[in-house]
Chain A
């Protein structure tokens, strides 16, 4: 499967009203024919995918704790915003970890991608392989091996170890997205800059980084979302008092379900939808510039 084609495909298909020519033409013809089987499966799948979200939203407004509908209330939202100190502490931990680890990953990944894409050197294939592997291995292996590693190195578990773990699994994504961006550009631009007398630093600042910017930004944001989302790896490398939001949610689910989690879910769903919307427009803006 060609990577660039996939990216382009996703991008084009996300752009409003830009179904790719071939498919659109055939779609128009297909409309007349009946392909009710795939349509039925698709609709059923959408219902399946959204059902849990609707249940969450519905019951976040329920007056009482149970699933028995007893009346509309903002009770759980009030609980969430005013009486959930531990939850918010975990939330800020998550934000802190997400920003620092995504930042580190972005710096390392961007330079890594520039080196691997535009230069040939010994150990290049080592660098490439090792930066793909964390995506192939199941999360639990990364969590367990890091947990044992930290214990062996006598590094106490806490925010630092979570930061290290998150940077490790964020990095491949930044690396890939910057590489995808670089793939589209000709190395000869760089050579031209050099021929015209720019040194490596100037080329980097004036040409390479601006070229990569859309890749860097989307890599950074992807890294943030992946970091905010992670539970399994964090579970193994978190110490006492270093809870992140997913860890908090986990313990809330494990030890007595609270409808505050319903309210939290709704807030998070709205938050991510809004963020993604802004992000898409921002990326389009950058790309258009």
Chain B
């Protein structure tokens, strides 16, 4: 097609321009702001300063960073441990359509409404307390809400399908006769799962981990609504610094931490996946598809 005009740039230019102005530029601005001095009334003063990053070494920030990492790891691990057998069961089932719909339907419900539902269940006058008192198991309300455990519970609830879906679609492609072969050769059921199934569905595992870890790591609404002050995560601190303390450089610097850890996580997973150069594109593509499928229950 050498004789034809190359329309590629023409087609892609508007989209590229949009992303450059409304995505890349804002990110570059917060990188720059994180190295500036805090303005007196919010905003910044154009003077180089490492103040914001020095603030990050403050013990209270370190505690929150460590807590965010630990919470994300625990929630991700629990999610994957639940999602694996679910994905396996779905892949081996004859009613895949129905089972998929069962997983997807709860997630058509608005995110906040699902958090709200958990508040209804776990609140002091909530469903669970009423139920336990009605059957005479407890005499007084139990405070289920506003702690670290409930944050993890709700996070797992929110991001389960993001793990189930890629695991299911990878396991579905797995040749189950390999498991039978392993059993015939004398492997126990568990051993055949660990030694034969798991290595074969690695790519699905990485995708599942990525989909759950990243949004959980950047969680904001869940710890805000069902967590206490002592279960705040990095997302909440960024929001507080931005809206309450109006310390833009600090908000930017914490955002940088979040971005760096996320990017490191993505790169680590990509490396583990050891594929060709289109890995990033591939992973984010499948991320997009899974999300889209969850959001609408359909794909192109």
Instruction: Tell whether B245 is near chain A: CB-to-CB under 8 Å.
Output: no
B 212-271 contacts with A by CB, 8 A: 214-215, 217-218, 220-221, 225, 235, 238-239, 242, 248, 251-252, 255, 258-259, 262-263, 266
CA distance A66 to B125 in the complex (A): 7
B93 proximity list for chain A (CB < 8 A): 19, 27
Within the complex, the shortest CB–CB distance from A228 to chain B, in Å, comes to 8
CA distance A41 to B117 in the complex (A): 22
Instruction: Tell whether B90 is near chain A: CB-to-CB under 8 Å.
Output: yes
Instruction: Tell whether A95 is near chain B: CB-to-CB under 8 Å.
Output: no
- Give the size of the chain A interface in residues (CB under 8 angstroms): 134
CA distance A41 to B81 in the complex (A): 10
Instruction: Tell whether A172 is near chain B: CB-to-CB under 8 Å.
Output: yes
If the complex has contacts A148-B248, A276-B296, are A19 and B214 also in contact, measured as CB distance less than 8 A?
no
> Judging by beta carbons under 8 Å apart, are A136 and B110 in contact?
no
Within the complex, the shortest CB–CB distance from A248 to chain B, in Å, comes to 10
> Judging by beta carbons under 8 Å apart, are A37 and B288 in contact?
no
> Judging by beta carbons under 8 Å apart, are A214 and B11 in contact?
no
Instruction: Tell whether B1 is near chain A: CB-to-CB under 8 Å.
Output: yes
If the complex has contacts A20-B172, A37-B85, A141-B259, are A177 and B33 also in contact, measured as CB distance less than 8 A?
no
Instruction: Tell whether B298 is near chain A: CB-to-CB under 8 Å.
Output: yes
A24 proximity list for chain B (CB < 8 A): 94
Instruction: Tell whether A196 is near chain B: CB-to-CB under 8 Å.
Output: no
Instruction: Tell whether A26 is near chain B: CB-to-CB under 8 Å.
Output: yes
A145 proximity list for chain B (CB < 8 A): 26-27, 29-30, 255
> Judging by beta carbons under 8 Å apart, are B285 and A3 in contact?
yes
> Judging by beta carbons under 8 Å apart, are B218 and A138 in contact?
yes
Within the complex, the shortest CB–CB distance from A98 to chain B, in Å, comes to 12
CA distance A63 to B157 in the complex (A): 29
> Judging by beta carbons under 8 Å apart, are B239 and A140 in contact?
yes
CA distance A164 to B225 in the complex (A): 27
> Judging by beta carbons under 8 Å apart, are A7 and B298 in contact?
no
> Judging by beta carbons under 8 Å apart, are B97 and A15 in contact?
yes
Q: List 24 A-B contacts (CB under 8 A).
A: A1-B170, A1-B207, A10-B100, A11-B300, A19-B94, A19-B96, A23-B96, A23-B172, A26-B176, A38-B89, A42-B89, A42-B90, A52-B117, A53-B117, A108-B18, A128-B281, A133-B23, A141-B27, A144-B255, A145-B26, A145-B30, A146-B22, A172-B284, A265-B116
Which of A's residues lie within 8 Å of B, judged by CB? 1-3, 5-7, 9-11, 13-20, 22-24, 26-28, 30-31, 35, 37-39, 41-42, 45-46, 48-53, 55-56, 59, 66-68, 107-109, 111-112, 114-116, 118-124, 126-142, 144-149, 151-152, 164-165, 167-168, 171-173, 175-178, 180-181, 191, 194, 200, 214-215, 218-219, 221-222, 225-226, 228-229, 231-232, 235-236, 245-246, 249-250, 253-254, 257, 261-262, 264-265, 268-269, 272-273, 276, 279-280, 283
Counting from the closest, the 5 A-B pairs by CB-CB distance are A138-B218, A119-B8, A115-B11, A112-B15, A52-B117
